[in-house]
Structure formats: C-alpha cells, structure tokens
C-alpha cells in the first residue's frame, strides 16, 4: 500500500518536472537565436593565399644559412601572426534576452540592446580600414570612421550603432537577423 502511494507521488513529480523542463526549454529557444557568419568565396581565397604566403616565407627562412635561433624566431612570429589573424574571425552571432553576442574564433563581444541606437543593412563596400586584415580570415579591424568591423561577406553586412561604439559585421541571412533583432529591441 505504501509503495503504491510512493509510486503515484513519484510519477506525478516526474510529470510536473517534465512539464517545467519543456516550458523552460521552449523559453530558452525563444530567448536564444543563432546566426552564422560564413566566409565568402573571396575571403576564403584571400585566406588561402595569405596562408600560403606565410608558409612560403616560413619555409624560405628555414632553408637559409642562418642560425637555428633566428629561424625559430621567424617561424614562431609567423605562427603567432597566423593565429592572431585567425582568432579575430567572426563565426556566430547569438541573440539573447537582453543582449547579442558576437562569437569570434577566440573570444566574444557583448552588445546590450539598451545601448543600441539604430541598426542598418550595409550594401557592398570596399571597407577602407585604418588597421585590419583586409580579407585574410575576413575583413577584421577598425574602419576610417572608428567602426569595429568583423566582416566575412561584404554582400551581407549589418551596421549596429550604439552610444559608445559602432559595429559592422556580416551574417548569413541579414534580413532575417534584422527582423529578429528589431523584435528584441521593442
């Protein structure tokens, strides 16, 4: 008898727990939207050629008649340069409840919705940079107007203007992204 009562209570608690989990999962999915930022063919080509040039420079220094310390320093410097260029590449954008997150290969940047003044689609641009990668693993760096750029595809760019900084990045489906972002801003 006691076992039946315990089993009934246990089953009821499992049903309640499952219902709560289903609601919280649905709520999490509603609060979290992922948008990819794939590299365009142009960026892939520039990245491949840039990597090839770095590899060629590294091998040419290895084959020279200089000391092993100098060779190791050059190869290590080129490897660090390659990793820095690769780590700045944007690959994913997440919209959460009160902010969006720009995920880079190494690190991330949060932009809170309360700081966003406006968003705008940006059409194809040459992206004049003061300092940046100019196509190797994306167009990453600072533009002439102090905008922080993380662009992998110059045809699908979005500009976000905040109170302190401006951001320019690319996303696979910019119109869909803007619709979802505007829903969060309201």
Lowest mean pLDDT across 13-17, 64-68, 72-76, 156-160: 13-17
pLDDT tens for each residue of 91-138: 888 888 888 888 887 888 888 888 888 888 887 766 666 666 666 676
**Residue 1: pLDDT over 50:** no
- DSSP annotation of 4 reads H
The residue that leads in pLDDT, 58 or 173, is 173
Mean pLDDT value across residues 34-51 = 79
The residue that leads in pLDDT, 84 or 116, is 116
Considering the entire predicted model, what is its pTM?
0.67
**Residue 8: pLDDT over 70:** no
Do residues 140 and 90 touch, judged by C-beta distance below 8 A?
yes
Take residue 104 and report the two structure tokens written for it: 């880079």
- Which pLDDT value is given to residue 167? 86
**Residue 3: pLDDT over 60:** no
* 135 beta partners: 138
Confidence of residue 14 (pLDDT cuts 50, 70, 90): low
* 161 beta partners: 118, 166
- Which pLDDT value is given to residue 31? 47
Classified by CATH at the fold level, domain 35-42+86-185 comes out as PH-domain like (2.30.29)
Domain range summary for the chain, segments of one domain joined by + = 35-42+86-185
The residue that leads in pLDDT, 3 or 120, is 120
Long-range Cβ contact pairs of 103-109 (< 8 A, separation 24 or more): 104/150, 109/167
The residue that leads in pLDDT, 45 or 27, is 45
The rounded percent of the chain whose pLDDT value lies above 90 is: 0
In residues, how long is the chain? 186
Distance CA 67, CA 184 (A): 59
């Amino acid at each position: 008898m006691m076992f039946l009562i315990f089993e009934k209570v246990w089953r009821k608690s499992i049903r309640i727990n499952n219902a709560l989990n289903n609601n919280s999962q649905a709520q999490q999915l509603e609060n979290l939207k992922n948008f990819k930022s794939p590299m365009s063919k142009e960026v892939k080509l520039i990245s491949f050629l840039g990597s090839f040039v770095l590899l060629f420079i590294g091998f040419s220094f290895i084959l020279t008649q200089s000391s092993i310390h100098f060779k190791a320093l050059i190869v290590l410097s080129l490897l660090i340069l390659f990793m820095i260029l690769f780590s700045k590449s944007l690959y994913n954008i997440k919209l959460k409840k009160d902010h969006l997150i720009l995920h880079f290969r190494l690190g991330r940047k949060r932009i809170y919705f309360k700081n966003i003044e406006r968003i705008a689609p940006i059409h194809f641009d040459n992206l004049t940079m003061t300092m940046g990668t100019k196509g190797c693993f994306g167009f990453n760096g600072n533009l002439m107007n102090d905008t922080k750029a993380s662009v992998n595809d110059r045809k699908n760019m979005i500009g976000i203007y905040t109170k302190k900084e401006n951001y320019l990045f690319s996303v696979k489906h910019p119109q869909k992204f803007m619709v979802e972002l505007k829903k969060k801003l309201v």
